Amino acid sequence: MTGDQAHATHRAPPKYARFTRRLRGLALDFILFLVLMVCALQIAVAFNNSELARIVGFGFAIGFFLYEPLLVSLLGGTVGHYLSNMRVVDDRTNGNVSFLKAVGRVAIKAILGWYSFISMVAARRHQAVHDLLTRSTVQIRDPALAKLGDYASERVELSSPGMPSIVRRITVIMLYLLVMYVIVTVFFLAFVFVGLISNECLRRQQWCSGTDNVVMSILGLCMLAVMVLCLGLGWRGRLWGARMSPLGRRA
């Protein structure tokens, strides 16, 4: 590689991992933990020793909580990150995040669960909530091995002169969410009226039947999907009422 090529490679913009890529990393880590847990249980059963079983259980619990913080701070990612060609990067240093930051990322992710990833649809650098709060990003480790669908570039349109103001975008998003809530409520009442959701379930949730739970779960998933869509499109200036102007002026 020539000096010019090396310089161009060094200045290449980061490639941020998409949600599907990050989901794959989580799945691989989950599978790894299942294998390790089964092995730990087999060891405890094989020796039939209560003291050894406690030691193995305690060691597995400690390893479970320290697994991601240690590997992310030392190596830039977990086994799942590495096998998915990703690394966690500190915004300020462009290197590995500190151990405390890595602990913070895990704690926030554990508290919010899947909701932490909702912000990826609108964040400028495709960051989840635990990334935003710890000032980190998840990037492609080796761009040469990445496929086009594995990553996304920075959303530079968010700083475009034609992008509506933050206040306007937030206001429009809230209005859309309010309308969505009203529509879902109407559907819910309609389902109660036609008998898809029983009155007993409406009054006492512990009396809900299997059909009641399925219908309410579908409504909840639809509401979550539309909410994510509104947040993503609204923040990126693609909702009617706060759309980005292609002419460089606020629409």
Length of the chain: 251
pLDDT band with cut points at 50, 70 and 90 for residue 11? low
Contacts 24+ apart (CB under 8 A), 129-136: 130/104, 130/105, 130/106, 131/105, 133/104, 133/108, 134/97, 134/101, 134/104, 134/105, 134/108, 135/90, 135/91, 135/92, 135/101, 136/88, 136/89, 136/90, 136/91, 136/97, 136/101, 136/105
Secondary element (H or E) of residue 133: helix 129-133
Q: Quick check: 49 pLDDT over 60? A: yes
Give the residue, 119 or 248, on which the prediction is more confident.
119
- pLDDT in the model for residue 197: 85
Q: Where are the domains of the chain?
A: 3-154, 159-243
How far, in Å, CA of 90 to CA of 183, rounded? 42
The CA distances from residue 73 to 30, 36, 81, 123, in Å, are 19, 22, 13, 23
- pLDDT in the model for residue 61: 81
Question: Do the beta carbons of residue 186 and residue 194 sit within 8 Å?
Answer: no
Q: What pLDDT digit, counting tens, does each position of 50-67 carry?
A: 777 777 778 888 888 899
DSSP for 110-131, written as a single string: HHHGGGGGGGGGT-TT---HHH
- pLDDT in the model for residue 205: 64
How far, in Å, CA of 68 to CA of 78, rounded? 6
The percent of residues above 70 in pLDDT, for the chain, comes to 92
How far, in Å, CA of 187 to CA of 205, rounded? 18
Tokens at 78, concatenated:
């977990």
Average pLDDT over every residue of 120-133: 94
- pLDDT in the model for residue 123: 92
Q: Quick check: 10 pLDDT over 60? A: no
pTM for this one? 0.77
Average pLDDT over every residue of 197-216: 80
β-partners of residue 151 are 17
- pLDDT in the model for residue 249: 46
How far, in Å, CA of 242 to CA of 236, rounded? 9
User: How many contiguous H segments (helices) and E segments (strands) does the chain have?
Assistant: 9, 6
- pLDDT in the model for residue 46: 77
pLDDT, averaged across the chain: 87
Average pLDDT over every residue of 34-54: 78
- pLDDT in the model for residue 250: 43
